[in-house]
Homo-oligomer: A and B are copies of this chain.
C-alpha cells in the first residue's frame, strides 16, 4: 500500500482544493445522494460549517487525492455517534487512500469524543466501499431496498453501516 500522501484538516478557505473530486463523484452518480446541481458554495457550507469538519489527503506536490467530512450523525440525543463521508480522486484509486482516510477519521472521531461511527447511505453496488468499511470494522446493520437511483443500474439497495469506536 503506497502512502505518499498526508491527511490534514482544512477550513472553508481551502475547500476549492477538494471541489474537483466532488465534481468527479457527482458526475459518476454511483455513490452520493447529493443533488446533481450542487454548487461549490453549498458543498463548502455542508462540509466545513461547525460541527462538520473537512480533511484533505494530498500528495507532496499539493495535489488533492481524497477528502472526508466528519461530524455528528444526528443532533441532540444522537450526537454521540459520528458520521463521515469520503471521496477519493479517480486518478488515485487503488493506492490505499480510502482506507487511510477511514483510519484517520476513526482516530479523529475518538479524539472528538464520539463513541461510535455510522454510515447512513452506503450504496450496495459500490462494492469497493462496502468491502473497505467491512475491513475497517464496520458491520452492515441495515439494508434499505431500492433507496438509491444509480446512474446506470437503476434502483439499488442502500446499507446502514456502524462500528463502535
Query: Residues of A with Cβ closer than 8 Å to B?
Result: 29, 32-36, 38, 73-81, 115-116, 118, 120-121, 141-151, 155, 158, 160, 162, 164
A148 and B33 contacting across the interface, CB-CB below 8 Å: no
The minimal Cβ–Cβ distance linking A129 to chain B, given in whole angstroms, is 15
B142 and A144 contacting across the interface, CB-CB below 8 Å: yes
A144 and B160 contacting across the interface, CB-CB below 8 Å: yes
B77 and A32 contacting across the interface, CB-CB below 8 Å: yes
B147 and A74 contacting across the interface, CB-CB below 8 Å: yes
The minimal Cβ–Cβ distance linking A33 to chain B, given in whole angstroms, is 4
The answer, among B33, B74, B142, for a CB contact under 8 Å with A78, is: B33
B160 and A75 contacting across the interface, CB-CB below 8 Å: no
A32 and B141 contacting across the interface, CB-CB below 8 Å: no
The minimal Cβ–Cβ distance linking A25 to chain B, given in whole angstroms, is 11
B144 and A76 contacting across the interface, CB-CB below 8 Å: no
A74-B121, A144-B118, A160-B160 given as contacts; is B35 within 8 A of A149 (CB)? no
Could you tell me the distance between the alpha carbons of A119 and B121 in the complex, rounded to whole angstroms? Answer: 13
A144 and B141 contacting across the interface, CB-CB below 8 Å: yes
| Contact partners of A147 in chain B: CB under 8 A | 73-74, 78, 81, 116, 118
| Contact partners of A29 in chain B: CB under 8 A | 77
The answer, among B141, B148, B155, for a CB contact under 8 Å with A142, is: B141
B162 and A34 contacting across the interface, CB-CB below 8 Å: no
The minimal Cβ–Cβ distance linking A11 to chain B, given in whole angstroms, is 24
**A38, A120, A142: which has the most chain B beta carbons within 10 Å?**
A142
Q: Can you give 10 A-B contacts (C-beta < 8 A)?
A: A33-B75, A34-B76, A36-B76, A77-B148, A78-B158, A81-B146, A115-B146, A120-B120, A141-B142, A144-B162
